[in-house]
Chains A and B, each alone.
Chain A
Amino acid sequence: MTLFFQFVLTGLVTGCFLILATIGFSFTRRVEGFLNIAHAELLGVSAFATWGCNKLLGWHILPSAAVGILVTAFAGLAIGRIVYDPIRKHGPSVMLITSVGVAYVIGGTIDALIGTGIRTLDIPLATSYRFWGLRITDYQMMVVALAILAAGSLALFLNHTRTGLAIRAMSANPELAASRGIDVQKTSRATWLISSGLAGLAGVMLGVIATLSTDIAFHQILQILAVAILAGLGSLYAVILSGLIVGVAMDVSVFWIPAGYRPLVAFAVVILVLLFRPQGIAGSASGK
């Protein structure tokens, strides 16, 4: 039974990581109105920028992580301005398909610069703690703490600051927001910075809890999509709930079936949900 709860605990940690990875994706979907397949590649950008500072330049992990997150945030902003802004008039389907092209460009660039092989960050080994027979490492606790912190501060930001409220207004009704004097350009820029910065944070976490290889980003998109569909591409709270559901479902499934089926479990949950609730667990009819 302890083993079962161990899987549940690991699942919660996985869920927290997925929340970090999906918040930005879901945020882009709400404000910009399309599914950004290239979002997962931004995790790779951040992870390898951090790795470059940490391993190649020999910096401490904290400044390296800060550089990684900043680089990713501005890379995301640049891509948003250069690639997505001009094609907004073509509609969400074209933007979705274009983002596949963007994913190719980022993925190919990372491949060309880094090359194949497995890499790790230069950080102290994880220390394991035991609570009632359940093991958790300090890095895993950090993922949980950061997920709570990121989700909490995003919620505060969206509900209590001017820019945050502007972003929410824009996601609800762009034309009305613009006619009421909201600076659409500025708000869109803030959105790109925040969602890419969150991808950057998730990328750093990925580097800390896992080993890095250049195809790692692509594997994340599958799980991000699973969480995002489950959440109904809706609110922040739905993302948190579905991140935890997908994380726990994937890790607990290992208790009964081979570990290779983890991604399958994630998508089995998604397909089941879509069959019975096409709008996601918390989506409303307006979540078109």
Chain B
Amino acid sequence: MIQSLILSTLMFGAMFSVLTVSLNLQYARGGMINFGTVAYFAAGAYAYAIFTQEPPSGLDQYAFGFDLPWWAGFLAAGVAAMAFALLTGWPTLRLRGEYLALTTFAFAEVLHSVLLNERRIGNGSVGMANVERPDPAALGLDDTLAYAAAACLLMLATAWLFRRLLASPYGRLVDATRDDETAAESVGKDTARVRLQIFVISAIPIGFAGALYAMITTLVAPALFTAEVTFFVWIALALGGERTITGAILGTMALVFFQELVRIIPFETVRGAQVAASVEEVITGILFILVLRWQPWARLARRAGA
């Protein structure tokens, strides 16, 4: 039981870490509040499902199923998230602060509503079940173990790439854009372009994570991609302390571990499980408020620096 707890924490923790790390790039480095993270995640998951699913038959209502191998679907997921980021980022990135937060939130809700109501995309509210996925058993590997490893791999690759990117001269340009746009513009940098680039680049791993999520759950349905995912990632980011990749990953792992821990407590009644889920929500909220109020990580970092 302990082993399965650790494995599922690693699997989901690493997968959501990809989202947190990307969000960290957008918010802490790029200064953009993206409150529609789930949309890019959903775009990836749906793209993966549509590319790998067999053509529709019987009761299926979706219009397209390309029946391609998993790696094609995986690539499509990244492309879909990137395309959606271009589509939503181009008109909205000239907005600032809370306006950007609200518009990205609105776009995510629009996508959710389309997925829910337009049955030709992915069977509407029913979603697409039995999503194709590579079978680790063919390599003689345990299922959960293999996917946990895949999630960790994706997370490490994302973290490494972002770190390289931000350590480069380009990273300094990103910081300059965030801290003082006028100054950056006055030395001839196109800040609007930098913001869009960061927005699009950070959406790609989110799309890949979406594909991985579709493989792990073998189901894509609108109910899996609600604003709660966005809020979850934001809470994880705040928990881990902004501005560092390690912090983002640790915060996500801690939050996922906490949730998985509540999930394995056996309950006698449905009501008991319900209460536990609500209490978990309350505690998550309180943690979030406390961390944002006292910002312990910022303080620790200051002390270490002094």
Contact of A104 among B110, B284, B293, B295 (CB under 8 A): B284
Among A54-62, A151-159, A191-199, A222-230, the stretch in contact with B: A222-230
Within 8 A of A (CB), among B257-271: 271
The answer to whether B117 touches A264 (Cβ under 8 A) is yes
Q: Is the interface of B mostly helix, strand, loop or mixed?
A: helix
Interface centre among A86, A102, A104, A267 (most CB of B within 10 A): A104
Give the interface size class of chain B: 35 or more
A149 lies within 8 A of chain B by Cβ? no
Give Cα A86–Cα B116 distance, bound, in whole angstroms: 40
Which of A34, A87, A100, A111: most chain B CB closer than 10 A? A100
| With known contacts A90-B292, A264-B117, A100–B106 Cβ distance under 8 A | no
Chain B hits for A274, CB < 8 A? 92, 95, 99, 103
State how many angstroms separate the Cβ of A90 from the closest Cβ of chain B: 7
- Contact code string B17-59 (vs A, CB < 8 Å = 1, else 0): 0000000000000000100000000000000000000000000
Q: Which residues of A contact B (CB under 8 A)?
A: 34-35, 83, 86-87, 90, 92-94, 96-98, 100-105, 107-109, 111-112, 115-116, 218, 222, 225-226, 229, 258, 260-261, 263-264, 267-268, 270-271, 274-275, 278
Tell me whether A260 and B288 are in contact (CB under 8 A). Answer: no
CB of B274, distance to nearest CB on chain A (Å): 6
The answer to whether residues A35 and B289 also contact, given A104-B281, A108-B279 and a CB cut-off of 8 A, is no
Cβ-based interface call for B286 (8 A)? yes
A87 and B33 contact, CB distance less than 8 A: no
A229 to B110, CA, bound (A): 15
**What's the least CB distance linking A265 to chain B, in Å?**
9
Closest to B291 in A: A101
* A101 pairs with B289, CB closer than 8 A: yes
B117 touches A261 (CB 8 A): yes
Tell me, rounded to whole Å, the shortest Cβ–Cβ distance linking B298 to chain A. 10
Contacts of A94 in B (CB 8 A): 292
Q: Name A94's closest neighbour in chain B (CB-CB).
A: B292
| Top 10 closest pairs, chain A to chain B, by CB | A104-B285, A108-B281, A101-B288, A112-B278, A105-B285, A108-B282, A111-B278, A264-B113, A260-B117, A267-B106
8 extra A-B contacts, CB within 8 A, seeds A100-B231, A104-B285, A111-B278: A101-B285, A103-B285, A104-B284, A104-B288, A105-B285, A258-B117, A264-B110, A271-B106
Q: Which of A101, A109, A111 contacts B235 (CB 8 A)?
A: A101
B227 contacts across to A, CB distance below 8 A? 218
Tell me the nearest residue of chain B to A103, going by C-beta. B285
Q: Say yes or no: B99 contacts A112, CB within 8 Å.
A: no
Q: B107 on the interface (CB 8 Å rule)?
A: yes
Determine if B113 and A105 form an interchain contact, defined as CB atoms under 8 angstroms apart.
no
* Contacting residue for A225 out of B106, B113, B286, CB 8 A: B106
18 sampled A-B residue pairs with Cβ under 8 A: A34-B98, A87-B292, A90-B295, A93-B98, A94-B292, A97-B238, A98-B292, A98-B293, A101-B289, A107-B281, A108-B280, A112-B275, A112-B282, A116-B274, A225-B102, A225-B106, A263-B109, A271-B103
